[in-house]
Structure 1
Amino acid sequence: MTTRPLLEVQDLQKVFTVGTMLNRKKIHAIRNVSFSIQEGETFALVGESGCGKSTTGRAIIRLTKPTSGTVKFNSVDLGNASNRDIRTMRRDIQMVFQDPYASLNPRMTIGRILAEPYRLHNLYSQKEREEKVIHLMEEVGLRSAYRNRFPHEFSGGQRQRIGIARALALHPKLIIADEPVSALDVSVQAQVLNLLMDLQEKYKLSYLFISHDLSVVKHISHRIGVMYLGEIVEVGEKEDIYSNPLHPYTQSLLSCIPTINKKEKSERIILSGDVPNPASPPSGCAFHPRCSSCMEICKSEKPKPRQIDKQVVACHLYN
């Protein structure tokens, strides 16, 4: 018997209006995005910069209001939830941002930053908050003696650990990690990824892991959703996506992963042209202008997602 997902996203859309009063354009940042995350699972969203990954994460946690679609967390529809329910939801869903420096208040000490969630939700006494802060810092591998320092006194990796500690403060069930290691050195990336995996095992956390780095995603994810121009074009288990990518875009992304193993090297698939302008997307399949397998139907008709074994792919090659 399958359990109900912790997070259910169905037909999520976000439209931004840009331009002047006389020349306004609508940009569909995300279109009909649907996926689910089980308890204790890491679901990764991957794709090129500007494909809508971060907007999806922000729309889920309601940092930006979605134009349409539904987001259910623990079976509660967040679109119809009251302000009290949304406030409770924010304790259960936390976010780790891409830039660990910009997401921390430079005028607050680390101790105050980590105690802020407790203050906002009116939890614990002052002494208990100090004890919680010390525990959080030790949990992410930082010395508690550093709690009176300011963000600029830490390295990039340390600042990201602080961001993770802040996300953990209220014991969330889901953490949305938006490119959490992209600004870090490779050696520091490994440390932060291992920390996230250890915390997941210890606290039974679920992650929505947003990244453009497929080698990082391979290390941490259970399932993967591949995005292109605001739409998810393929979803599957990690092993299936890496061993048998179905969508031509997924195949191209995976062919670009660097490797030193000659046996694992494959012919690199170079995409022609640039990513289309989201203000005027191509007709039919959004990927068809860059696809080497493009057919006439791809230029006029948008492909519908189809189940192929354990994977779901939106491509006319499989219809």
Structure 2
Amino acid sequence: MSRISETTRGVFVISVTPFDDSGAIDWASLDRVTDFYLESGADGLTILGIMGEAPKMTQAEAAEIARRVIGRASGKPVIVGVSAPGLAAIADLGKAVMDLGAAGVMVAPPGSLKTDPQIHGYYGHVTRALGEEIPVCLQDYPLTTGVQISDEVMGRIIDDYPSIRMLKHEDWPGLSKISKIRAAEAGGRRHISILCGNGGSFLPEEITRGADGAMTGFAFPEMMVSVCALMAKGDRDRAHDLFDAYLPVLRYELQPGLGLAVRKHVLASRGAIASAALRAPGAGLDAAARRDVDFLVERQQRRLAELGFDPGSPAR
């Protein structure tokens, strides 16, 4: 399996972790949702991220999930989230999943980092603990981690730690960060792959600023695949038309504390997973919220048909 690099592009879908109603991992649904993402046109997958409920897993479960998905992906690259409070756990899981054939690992900064020197130094510790041969995706998600990585510190991290090959960009507002990274590259800084998150909520604008694709888990991955393809062809208006059709569902899914439940409800409705259950602590949608989402999805499908898109199929 190929590894991520500074030139990696496309859509890497952040996978949910399916559970049954008792909270046990639903292995059959894990296979099914892996197939679903790849059949939707994804270029790769990212597992055990924040929306994959990684903090609720044991280390053994995490390793087995990685084994299962990497094997199922049939050569498509799989990035594995290995974020943890301690470096020993990051290194242990990181090296284990790379031995299983992972394409790279993703590491978010712990919320304990408060100063610029701490943030910069932390990624030095991470890359040394993993070994510089392991490619790292830095997850920049201050809305969840509470860690704000300034443009200047991000530049120093890129300069000083060459095994960080990719940025998962989820700063908000953060379009200027992409622009500044690309401007610095024009001035001689090494290139880094940038894939964007936040449910894909700013995907067309991010690509315009120089992002290489998406890395997020919106329940309609074919939207992200299609928007990236249309933008690559230079059809910006058509990309925005398509994107706008999905915005009501995307907006509903972005609600803090509710987003994963919405995502799992939609994936279950689409047959990608058997149950919308979250592992405790975490609750699903109530009946009113399910009705809201179902109504928005129905309107979305009608709008896609009006625009001449085939709902469920990536537009190339």
Report the TM range for the smaller structure's normalisation.
0.3 to 0.5
Q: Please state which structure has a larger fraction of its residues in strand.
A: 1
TM-score (norm 2): 0.44
TM-score (norm 1): 0.43
Q: Please state which structure has a larger fraction of its residues in helix.
A: 2
Kindly name which structure, 1 or 2, has the bigger radius of gyration based on alpha carbons.
1
